[in-house]
Amino acid sequence: MTSTITDHSTNSTERDLITARHLINGEWLGGADTERMNPARPGELAALSPSGTAADVDAAITAATAAQPAWAALPAPSRGAILMAAGNLLLDRQAAIAEDLVREEGKTLAEAKGEVKRAADVLRFFGSLGWAATGEVLPSGLPDTTITTRREPLGVVGLITPWNFPIAIPAWKAAPALISGNAVVIKPAELTPLSATHLARALQDAGLPAGVFNVVHGKGRVVGDVLARDPRIAGMSFTGSTNVGLGLQEILNARRARVQLEMGGKNGVLVLDDADPRKAAQVVAAGAFGLTGQACTATSRVYVTPGIRAAFLAALTEEAAQYTAGDGFDAKMGAVVSSQQFEQNQAAVRTAVERGATLLHGEYDGGTDAGFRFPAAILTDLPFDDAAVTEEIFGPVVAVLEVPDYEAGLAAINDSRYGLTAGICTDSLAFSTDFAARAQAGVIKVNRPTAGLDLNVPFGGVKDSSTNTFREQGKSALDFFTWGKTVYTGV
C-alpha cells in the first residue's frame, strides 16, 4: 500500500503515501482508478483512490458485523488506550499528514497542521472517556431494590464525511462510535481520500482489531446509498449538503435506523454601533475568509447598524486584502477545493453584481491557470432576499447589509432556513445576553468568529442545518452511538 515515491512538485519531498485503498477486515484492498489533482497546482497529482462497489460495502459491513461483539466486550479503558495511541501516532506524523492534506484539499499548511492536531486531540479525548462512568445508580420506590442504567453500543454504524475537514470530521465521528463499542464503516469524501487513510493507518497501527474500522472509497450514490440501505447498519452519521442529507434521512427513517445529520449553514453576524469596528472586522474576516470560507460554520452574511457601517466596511476591506489566495504552502488563504466549487463561487458573485450588488472587494472573472485561487469577496447593497444572502455559497464570500437597530438585526439573523452558528459583535452585556437567548442557531458566538469550536462542547444546529436530535463532539456525541437500558436488581 505504501510504496515510497518521489513527489515532483516544487516542494519536493519523499511521500510514503499517495495511493489510498479500501480498508476491509484489516486488509488494504482495491485498485487505484481515480486521480485527485492538487487544486492549487493544475497537473500535479495529489492522490489516487479506488472506486468502491456494492460488493465492497457488503464486505466491509460483513467484517464490521463479525468484529463488533468482541470489540464491545473489550473493557472500555482498553478501547480507550487504542484511541489514545492512535491520537499520539497522528501527532507523530503531523507534518507529513498536513502536507498531504494541503495537496489534496487546498487549505493552508497552518490550517492543515491544526486540523491534524484536532483529530489527534479528539481521539485522545474520547480515549480518555474509556475511564469515565457511563451509567447511573438511581433510587427505587421498591424495598431492597437497586436501579442502574447502562449505555449499549448500536452495533455497526456508517459514517459519511465531507472534504472540508477530511481528517478531523472522520475522527470526531469515529472516536465516539469506537469508544462506545461500535464497529465502523466509513465513506470518506472522494476529493480527499488520503486524509481518511491516514486516520485509518493510525488506528490500525495503534492495535485496533481487524474489522472494527473499515473504509470504502467511492461515489456517494454508490457507496453511500448501499451503506444507508443495508439493514445491518444500525445508525448513520452524515456531514454534507442539506439535499443529500435529507435524502439519506428518508432512507434510514424508512427502516427505523438512527440517523444524525449535520448539513448546511448560512451563518450571520450582527455588528452593533457600540462594537470596535477593527475588532469586528477581524472577527468577521476570520470567520468568512479563514479556511477559504469552506466551512459549514463560516460567516457568510453580516448585518451592521448605521453608526458603524462605514468604519466597519473600511476595516473589513483592509482585512480582506490580507487574505491572499494561493498555494496552501505559502499563502494566507488556500485554494478552492475543486473546479466545480470555484465556478460556483464565481457564479454567486457575478450574478449578485448583475442584480445590482456592489463588489467592495474581490473579483469573479479570474482564470484557473494558476489553480483554483478565489480572492476574498465582500458584497454590499443587496436586498435581504438575494440568493447571495439566503443560499449557501461555501466560499470566501460575505454579504454585508445595513439594519436600523438591534431588533431588526436579530430578526434578519433568524430569517433563514439554516441555524448552525450565529454571532454578534457588541460591548453590551444586555444585547449579547439577549442575542444568546433569542438567536435561532445551535452555536452562538459573542465577539468571536462563527467558525471554530472546542472539541469538548456539543456541536449541531437547528432548522435545515441539522436533525437537531443528537449533538456531535464532547460527551454529548456518545448519545447517538449508544442506547439506554434500565436494570432493576432485587436482593
Question: Does residue 444 carry a pLDDT above 90?
Answer: yes
Angle among Cα 46, 49, 54 to the nearest 5 degrees reads 155
pLDDT digits (tens, 9 = 90+) for 71-105: 999 999 999 999 999 999 999 999 999 999 999 99
Q: Assess whether 307 and 160 both reside in one domain.
A: no
Angle among Cα 172, 176, 178 to the nearest 5 degrees reads 115
Overall pTM surpassing 0.85 (yes/no): yes
Task: Give me the CATH number covering residue 54.
Answer: 3.40.605.10
Task: Specify if 112 maps to a domain.
Answer: yes
Task: Specify if 289 maps to a domain.
Answer: yes
Question: In terms of residue numbers, what domain contains 152?
Answer: 5-263+466-490
Gyration radius (Cα) of the chain, Å: 23
The secondary structure of residue 209, as a DSSP letter, is: P
Q: In this predicted structure, what is the pLDDT of residue 368?
A: 67
For residue 133, the tally of other CB atoms under 10 A from its CB is: 9
Q: In this predicted structure, what is the pLDDT of residue 12?
A: 32
Going by pLDDT thresholds of 50, 70 and 90, the confidence category of residue 143 is: very high
Q: Give the mean pLDDT of 216-222.
A: 96
Q: Assess whether 306 and 271 both reside in one domain.
A: yes
Q: Give the mean pLDDT of 317-325.
A: 96
Question: Does residue 3 carry a pLDDT above 70?
Answer: no
Question: Does residue 14 carry a pLDDT above 80?
Answer: no
**Quick check: is 296 catalytic?**
yes
Going by pLDDT thresholds of 50, 70 and 90, the confidence category of residue 9 is: very low
pLDDT digits (tens, 9 = 90+) for 251-276: 999 999 999 999 999 999 999 999 99
Q: Assess whether 117 and 153 both reside in one domain.
A: yes
For every residue of 350-385, which 3-state class applies, written as one string? HHHHHCCCEEEECCCCCCCCCCCCCCCEEEECCCCC
Q: Assess whether 232 and 284 both reside in one domain.
A: no
Question: Does residue 232 carry a pLDDT above 90?
Answer: yes
Q: C-alpha dihedral over 59, 60, 64, 67, to 10 degrees?
A: 60
Give the dihedral sign, CA 221/222/225/228: negative
- 459: which 3 cell numbers? 456541536
* CA 464 – CA 446 distance, rounded (Å): 23
**Set 296, 302, 304, 420: catalytic member:** 296
435, amino acid identity: F
Question: Does residue 5 carry a pLDDT above 50?
Answer: no
Region of poorest pLDDT, from 298-307, 358-367, 391-400, 408-417: 358-367
Q: Assess whether 220 and 197 both reside in one domain.
A: yes
Residue 265 · residue 395 · CB < 8 Å: no
Q: Assess whether 22 and 49 both reside in one domain.
A: yes
Q: Assess whether 93 and 43 both reside in one domain.
A: yes
Number of domains within the chain? 2
For residue 307, the tally of other CB atoms under 10 A from its CB is: 12
Beta bridge partners of 467: none
Task: Specify if 460 maps to a domain.
Answer: no
Q: In this predicted structure, what is the pLDDT of residue 367?
A: 62
* CA 24 – CA 108 distance, rounded (Å): 32
Task: Give me the CATH number covering residue 436.
Answer: 3.40.309.10
Q: Give the mean pLDDT of 320-341.
A: 96
Q: Assess whether 321 and 179 both reside in one domain.
A: no
Q: Assess whether 356 and 371 both reside in one domain.
A: yes
Task: Specify if 461 maps to a domain.
Answer: no
Q: Assess whether 179 and 286 both reside in one domain.
A: no
Question: Does residue 398 carry a pLDDT above 90?
Answer: yes
The secondary structure of residue 447, as a DSSP letter, is: S
Task: Specify if 106 maps to a domain.
Answer: yes
Q: Give the mean pLDDT of 420-439.
A: 98
Q: Assess whether 290 and 367 both reside in one domain.
A: yes
Residue 425 · residue 270 · CB < 8 Å: yes
Q: Assess whether 228 and 309 both reside in one domain.
A: no
The secondary structure of residue 459, as a DSSP letter, is: B
Per-chain mean pLDDT for the chain: 95
Task: Specify if 323 maps to a domain.
Answer: yes
